[in-house]
Amino acid sequence: MRSRPSDSADIGVSHHPPSGFGVRPQELTRLVAPNTLRAAKEPEERILTALRNNGFRDEIIFGVKLALEEALTNAVKHGNRGDASKHITVSYAVTPERAVIMVADEGPGFAPDCVPDPTLDENLERPCGRGLMLMRAYMTRVEYSETGNCVWMLRENR
């Protein structure tokens, strides 16, 4: 089921985790931050604290932090194109079993399948294009909304 929010500030923000992510929309904590990397630190710190409080191992926290920072950087720099008048939305739910995180921007979105594979020999020396693959490598699941401006990530604690 897809949500069709009427509030204009919510355009493109999905409030429903993809099926199989194991949390209900009402379990999510939602934060809205100005579109700067510095402001994005606050939701990040809250999520990392929640992971520690729920007994996630350091090794998993390292990976979630990496993936989350890539998602936040993508939202601020690419999605919202550094526009300080825009916002990013972060929703999350952390339990001892799983962490579910959504990051959305107000940009036009992109087609994740069109990002070239940075691990192919011909792309190895390209300086860009590794954020998305790191997110996929460190999270259990990574799914973009149809609009491409909203990413849902699941990390199971095991």
Partner 1 sequence: MGERPSSHLRVREQDDIAIVEFADRKILEELSIQEIGEELDQLVEAGSAKLLLNFRNVDHLSSAALGMLITLNKKVKEKHGVLKLSDINRQIFEVFKITRLDRVFDIHESADHALASF
Which residues of the chain form contacts with partner 1 (CB under 8 A)?
Answer: 37, 59, 62, 65-66, 69-70, 73, 77, 118-119, 124-131, 133-134, 137
Short-list 150, 145, 49, CA closest to 90:
150
Which of 12, 131 has the CB closer to partner 1?
Answer: 131
Comparing CB distances to partner 1, the nearer of 16 and 78 is 78
Judged by CB, which is closer to partner 1: 17, or 43? Answer: 43
User: Least Å distance between CB 64 and partner 1?
Assistant: 12
- E strands, 35-149, in order: 87-94, 98-104, 141-144
Q: Which residue has the tokens 């204009």?
A: 8
Instruction: Find the shortest distance in angstroms from Cβ 60 to partner 1.
Output: 11
Shortest Cβ 124–partner 1 spacing (Å):
5
Q: How far apart, in Å, are the Cα atoms of 1 and each of 4, 16, 55, 86?
A: 10, 8, 32, 27
Cβ proximity to partner 1, 21 vs 144, nearer residue = 144
Taking the complex as a whole, the smallest distance from the CB of residue 136 to partner 1 amounts, in Å, to 10
State the angle between helix axes of 58-73 and 41-53 in degrees (0 to 180), rounded to the nearest 10.
160
Q: Which residues contact 80 (CB under 8 A, 6 or more apart)?
A: 35, 86, 87, 88, 105, 106, 107
